[in-house]
Amino acid sequence: MTDRTKPMATRRRILQGGAAVGALSFAPGLLAQNAPVRIGYSMSRTGPWTGGAQVSQEPNFLLWAEQQNAAGGLDVKGTKRRIELISSDDRSDVETVVRTYEKLMGSDKVDLVLPPWGSNANFAVAPLANRFGYPFLAPTALSRRLVEMKLPYFFLLLQQPKSMCDALVDMFKANGVRSVACIYVDDLFGLENYAAFKVALQGTGINLVEDKSYPGGVKDLSPVLRSIKDKNPDAFVGFTYPPDTILASRQSKEIGFNPKIFYASVGTAFPLYKNVMTPAGAEGVMGMGSWNAKTSPGAKAYFDAHVASQKKEPDRWASGACWAGLEILTAAVKQVGLDRKAIRDYVAATTHKTIIGDVKFQGSENVGTPGTVSQWQNGEFEVVWPAARATAKLNANKPAWK
């Protein structure tokens, strides 16, 4: 992007940046080298998506920009340029997400974009990213439909429903689970995961004794949990969002529902979960998770930097995927600059070394990171399945709620 296409306010900041820049202001190429890299995104700071967005995504965006700028700026094909983040609150509203990205990519013409939070928001904005030609590395989108849309500029970092459910059911089979009950939120995330789970169960002999959907924003799950308790399944599975994950856990404790395996979804990997339930209360609970500080030296360095900068721990699932996406974007820009088509091609064709391991895309899907199951053990969310990815040994018998 040349200086002539930048908003006047941005140009003014650059021109007032000091005598050295002013002396070069008549050389457009040199001036462009000193211009910040403008990176836009929308993020949920209010509304029901806030909990996930402010754990798994925005803290990572802020830490990344902080680290890059502290090192002199983002390496743009050999030239360091400071990052300027341009962001706004989408209020957990899909229409606001769409309007924001239309403006960022269409009229503001930012250099790069970072993704919004959640499957629904990413599903809405994915076609826009493809139309405007902006690479999207989405760390909180879990949707087979997004893969099937075959949008070349859109990349999903999380393991998708099939791989996650296959891993979960494989763990069930290996540990003698004969019956399971399932609840799922009635939206894209819940429906896709429930469908993948049912397919994974086929031919296993594991009996699905109950399956119930519930609306987003649910305030009481005790009736369905009591019904499930009466059926005494070996395992409980909830395809849940953070508030529902905590609600289902609290109400299961209240009614004394304590199956051998208790598995919930988004939010189980959050530090908030062990804080709300207490570490002893969270002990043995399983959920969607893929990494922790033991996963790699890079993961430990990232974990420590996150705590130092953001004054809180990252979660043990999507935060790692978010940081991996930023690692990939950083490497791409260093290699090919800000040519968005070249970034897309680099992302699509490369096996990326990240804090969560190798990431490789087949179309939009990350096929380099296998499905995983994690479990709270002694205050840490350990990867317990499959064994090749495990950071601790699985405990297949959840202790009583405390």
Quick check: is 125 in a domain?
yes
What average pLDDT does the chain have? 92
Residues 6+ apart with CB under 8 A from 172: 180, 204, 206, 235, 261
Quick check: is 398 in a domain?
no
Residues 6+ apart with CB under 8 A from 288: 164, 265, 266, 268, 269, 317, 373, 374
Assess whether 351 and 282 both reside in one domain: no
Quick check: is 279 in a domain?
yes
Assess whether 216 and 354 both reside in one domain: no
Assess whether 14 and 96 both reside in one domain: yes
Assess whether 50 and 145 both reside in one domain: yes
Assess whether 103 and 203 both reside in one domain: no
pLDDT tens per residue across span 120-175:
999 999 999 999 999 999 999 988 899 999 999 999 999 999 999 999 999 999 99
Assess whether 113 and 207 both reside in one domain: no
Quick check: is 122 in a domain?
yes
How many domains does the chain contain in total?
A: 2
Question: Quick one: the chain helix, strand, coil %, rounded to 5?
Answer: 45, 20, 35
Assess whether 270 and 304 both reside in one domain: no
Quick check: is 265 in a domain?
yes
Mean pLDDT of 186-215: 96
Assess whether 384 and 252 both reside in one domain: yes
Assess whether 221 and 324 both reside in one domain: no
Assess whether 244 and 172 both reside in one domain: yes
Cβ count near 230 (within 10 Å): 10
List the domain range (segments joined by +) for residue 143.
Answer: 3-160+295-366
pLDDT tens per residue across span 1-43:
333 333 323 322 322 233 333 333 344 555 566 899 999 999 9
The predicted model scores a pTM of: 0.88
CATH number at residue 98: 3.40.50.2300
